[in-house]
Amino acid sequence: MSRRTNIVIVGGGLAGMAAAIEALRQTRHTAGITIELLEKEAHTGGNSAKASSGISGVLTRTQKNLGINDSIDAFFQDTIKSGRGRSNETLVQRLASESASAVFWLQNDFALDLDVIAQLGGHSFPRTHRRPDANGKPQPVGWGIVSALDKHLKEQAKKNGSCFRLTTGARVTKLLSTAGGRVSGIFYESIDPSTNTVVRHRCKCDVVVLATGGFGGEGGNPNFLKKYAPQLVGLPATNGPFAAGDGLRLATAVGAGLVDMDQIQVHPTGFVQARDPGNPTKFLAAEALRGEGGILLNGLGKRFVDELGTRDRVTTAITKYSAYLVLSQPVADSFGHGGLGFYEKMGLMNKASSVEELATAIRVELTTLNQTLTDYDKAREGRINDEFGKTAFPQSMLSKGGSGDESFYFWCIVTPSIHYTMGGLRFDENARVLASSGGQPIPGLLAAGEVTGGLHGANRLGGNSLLECIVYGRRAGRQAA
Ligand SMILES: Cc1cc2nc3c(=O)[nH]c(=O)nc-3n(C[C@H](O)[C@H](O)[C@H](O)COP(=O)(O)OP(=O)(O)OC[C@H]3O[C@@H](n4cnc5c(N)ncnc54)[C@H](O)[C@@H]3O)c2cc1C
Ligand SMILES: *[C@@H]1O[C@H](CO)[C@@H](O)[C@H](O)[C@H]1NC(C)=O
Ligand SMILES: *[C@@H]1O[C@H](CO)[C@@H](O)[C@H](O)[C@H]1NC(C)=O
Ligand SMILES: *[C@@H]1O[C@H](CO)[C@@H](O)[C@H](O)[C@H]1NC(C)=O
Ligand SMILES: *[C@@H]1O[C@H](CO)[C@@H](O)[C@H](O)[C@H]1NC(C)=O
């Protein structure tokens, strides 16, 4: 089957949906322009739907309401520092300076209550926004965002004479290009449910936006991982299996350049589920658990790292020790009991009703554990220097919070898991994909989100990925239009 449309967006995660919404907005008054979003899974959402810690942004309404004196420059510096000399400054500058409008877009246009803020590792201020519990129920941030955008897009698609089409179950397999090197269409496959056979479609177009996500979900079928980071093959991952690097294969086949492919983020805290410890797909223990003050203990009941250091540092430290993540009652209160209750129900998180019970549960000596918690609180009060150089201490480890008379603790076992691929397609600040030879934009080819590389360098900061999806996804939508 063959047809023609103007703009094709490949991938229905946050980057692809943001691109579609913006392209629609830009072309609303131009009759006849058609836009199509193709998603290979049965539903949109991708890894974006799994995000649990939040979206970073500075000078946002929420930061202002909370009196947080942050700045674009501080955000820029933190991100550059985390990338350790690999991040492109032009790309980072745009990310930081458009962060307020990205968060505002979600808050204003989609009525999302991103009013809880945490300071995640490597950030020098609290600036990662997520949603509060509603009536004791968690409102996971990634799920909330993609649901709102998905609803909006489906409404657009339903409108009479709509110029927008959203097709799920459609896997893009190839990009077409002209003799002159302009991308001019795609091939995609779908399953015909009546015959259960694969149908191949050809669709000519003017612009393709790739938003296919990363390759952290390759799992048992490692291709890019084997080539660029063989030492990580076999580690568990937090990604869905759809994150298999499709966009990288599609784009390199038409001459796109790759950058930083060996820079892969291993998240320090994938949950080890007691009833299924060997499962290669891990639920993520949200970074906000540490952001709100959770601490990491080794098998002796001692701390071993600044829990709010960048992810790569924390991961390296855990690889040496294996770890328990422990939350005191005040930490649990500020993280939110809705989310914790969910983790508990899933058998990921455990509760202990006292320091003694915690010591028994994690099989460490009570005196050692008590000492660890006491020292932590002393450092928090500025009475001693923290042994690991921690400077932000969100909550006390020994005092009770406001939610009850008894003090209690939450604890779990965590393990490093492949989480995010910093590398990907070379692109510029207008979301244009750059060629491997010469570095010129490939006409007709744009990209946004985790499929791109060069922005985060050696390490992505928490909350910066949802942000990049919106900043560069919208940029791609505008550029395409
Ligand atoms: C568990 C978890 C928690 C996270 N938490 C956070 C967080 O709190 N904050 C933060 O900033 N980041 C977080 N991240 C990272 C962030 O969620 C992702 O990096 C980001 O959402 C990627 O968005 P994307 O749109 O680029 O890709 P995705 O959301 O993964 O979407 C890509 C989509 O493209 C589709 N696709 C792929 N190939 C094809 C093809 N050939 N044809 C058609 N469709 C295709 C996929 O099926 C998928 O739906 C988290 C990641 C994980 C895994
Ligand atoms: C905010 O921080 C800047 C420097 O980062 C400082 O100059 C300014 O005085 C601070 N403002 C407030 C209100 O604290
Ligand atoms: C769409 O338009 C047609 C004719 O113009 C009309 O009959 C139909 O009811 C409309 N559908 C919706 C959902 O508005
Ligand atoms: C912890 O140590 C403090 C002081 O060292 C002591 O007062 C307290 O009783 C101890 N708590 C437990 C549970 O052992
Ligand atoms: C960063 O990207 C821009 C395009 O967005 C490019 O012009 C510039 O040369 C890049 N800088 C480096 C150091 O690669």
Query: Is the pTM of the predicted complex or chain greater than 0.85?
Result: yes
Instruction: Looking at the CA of residue 69, tell me the nearest atom of ligand 2.
Output: 1
pLDDT at 402: 56
Q: Is 374 in the pocket of ligand 4 (CB under 6 A)?
A: yes
pLDDT at 46 over 70: yes
> For ligand 1, atom 48, which residue shows the shortest CA distance?
46
pLDDT value of position 404: 54
Residue 158 phi, psi dihedral angles, 5° rounding: -75, -20
238 lines ligand 1 (CB under 6 A): yes
* Residues 311-320: tens digit of each pLDDT: 889 999 998 7
Q: What residues form DSSP beta bridges with 4?
A: 204
Q: For 207, phi and psi rounded to 5 degrees?
A: -140, 140
398 lines ligand 4 (CB under 6 A): no
Q: Which of 123, 129, 130, 267 is catalytic?
A: 267
Q: Compute the distance from residue 431 Cα to the ligand 5 centre, in Å.
A: 12
Give catalytic status of residue 267 as yes or no: yes
- Enumerate residues 6+ apart whose C-beta is below 8 A from 186: 8, 10, 38, 172, 174, 175, 176, 202, 203, 205, 208
Q: How far is the CA of 70 from the centre of ligand 2 (A)?
A: 8
Reference 112, options 473, 376, 476, 466; nearest CA is 466
Nearest CA to ligand 2 atom 13: 69
pLDDT in tens, 204-258: 999 999 999 999 999 888 999 999 999 999 899 999 999 999 999 999 999 999 9
**SS3 category, 413:** strand
Cα–Cα distance, 467 to 451 (Å, whole number): 14
Instruction: Choose which residue among 80, 260, 428 to substitute to test ligand 5 binding: the one with the highest number of ligand atoms within 8 A of its C-beta.
Output: 428
Q: Closest ligand 1 atom, CA of 283?
A: 1
**Among the bound ligands, the one closest to the CA of 94:** 5
Strand positions, DSSP E, 307-392: 323-328, 350-352
Q: Whose CA is nearest to atom 7 of ligand 5?
A: 428
Higher-confidence residue of 3 and 341: namely: 341
Residue 347 confidence class, pLDDT cut points 50, 70, 90:
very high
How much is the mean pLDDT over the chain? 95
Calculate mean pLDDT across residues 44-73: 97
Q: What is the model's pLDDT at position 207? A: 98
Ligand nearest to the CA of 357: 4
Unique residue bearing structure tokens 């658990």: 289
Residue for token pair 């589920």: 273
The reply to whether ligand 5 has any atom less than 6 angstroms from the CB of 429 is yes
Ligand nearest to the CA of 241: 1
- Given pLDDT bands bounded at 50, 70 and 90, which one contains residue 91? very high
The reply to whether ligand 2 has any atom less than 6 angstroms from the CB of 69 is yes
Report which of 295, 301, 283 is spatially closest to residue 330, judged by C-alpha positions. Answer: 295
